[in-house]
Amino acid sequence: MSKRAASYMALSAFGFSVMAMLVKLAARELPTGEIVLARAIVTLILSFWLVRRAGLSPWGTRRAGLMFRGCLGFSGLAFYYLSLARLPLAEATTLQSLIPVITALLAWRLLGEKVGWAGAFALACGLGGVLLVARPFSHASGDSIGVACALAAAMSSATAYVTVRELSKTEHPLVIVLYFPLVATPLAIPWAASHLVAPSVTGWLLLAGIGIATQVGQVFLTKGLALERAGRASAMGYLQIVFAIGWQLAVFGDAPSPWMLAGASLIIAGTLAVSRPSA
């Protein structure tokens, strides 16, 4: 993987980790549907501004594929936020980090991409790290709905990754990013309207932060996927677990267990392998 692609995916992982931490905090005050809608609106405004600033047509050329990507994005977003509301931050992030494994398999089947030895090693390390952190899913097993939401989010997001990789052949990354909130916003409105809660000042700040952090993660994700094969590029997403451990310790005061640290070590090893320029 090139250094540029690796940097993009690392920045994406950091942005999404900040988003997850802010969602966890916001869920103490606001219902999930309202958080999803607020995030979609902020992302829609930022995305549209970036597209117009770049002088691009916001509609793209493969509109059916872009709409499908938007639907997948909404599904992954909704299920992930539900899992964050129900599970501890590190556990929800760990389950979400199954995305690279699913992505690699889908990219192999649908796009004919080769995994390669470095990619296979990274995926094996990542999967092993996930199992060590979850042991296996022993902590999450107390909330089967939360686990089911996290797995559904991973499947939706992995399919979206493969779709982005294919769309990147003809569509500008900023247009692909725009279709995510363009589809998600109208889909989230009835969900949020069913249970509206007036946010406090802190709530408004958290919602704005979620939108901004998500935009950072989404833009760098799309740029990274445009430069590298989907399976290998998405393996960098394992860094989100490392960031989640840090946020869980710094913000929520929960010290990581030895199992968590062992899993994180495997994940880092796999990420370093797949991000080598010669890999």
Residue type, 47: S
Q: For 27, phi and psi rounded to 5 degrees? A: -65, -15
d(CA 28, CA 47): 28
76 against 259, higher pLDDT: 76
Q: Which residue has the tokens 């889909």?
A: 187
Dump pLDDT digits (tens) for 139-192: 444 577 887 898 899 899 989 988 988 898 899 989 998 999 999 999 999 999
Predicted local confidence at residue 35, as pLDDT:
95
Kindly provide the b/e burial profile for residues 32-55, where b requires at least 16 CB atoms within 10 angstroms of the residue's own CB: bbbbbbbbbbbbbebbeebbeeee
pLDDT at 199 over 50: yes
Task: Classify 253 in phi/psi space as left (phi over 0), alpha (psi -120 to 50) or beta.
Answer: left
Sequence-distant (≥ 6) Cβ neighbours of residue 217 within 8 angstroms? 11, 12, 13, 14, 15, 16, 18, 19
Give which of 212, 157, 188, 160 is closest to 19, Cα–Cα. 212
Point out the least confidently predicted range of 49-58, 170-179, 235-244.
235-244
Sequence-distant (≥ 6) Cβ neighbours of residue 71 within 8 angstroms? 183, 187
Domain extent listing, the chain: 3-274
DSSP state of 199: -
Sequence-distant (≥ 6) Cβ neighbours of residue 22 within 8 angstroms? 206, 209, 210, 213
270 against 63, higher pLDDT: 63
Q: Are the CB atoms for 266 and 125 separated by under 8 Å? A: yes
209 against 148, higher pLDDT: 209
Dump pLDDT digits (tens) for 104-139: 778 777 777 776 777 778 778 877 877 776 665 554
User: Nearest-5° angle of CA 3, CA 259, CA 251?
Assistant: 75
Alpha carbon dihedral 270, 162, 189, 240, in 10-degree steps, equals 10
Question: How far, CA to CA in Å, does 21 sit from each of 101, 175, 225, 231, 248?
Answer: 23, 27, 24, 25, 8
**Region 50-59 average pLDDT:** 92
Q: Are the CB atoms for 255 and 90 separated by under 8 Å? A: no
d(CA 235, CA 9): 9
122 three-state secondary structure:
helix
Predicted local confidence at residue 1, as pLDDT:
63
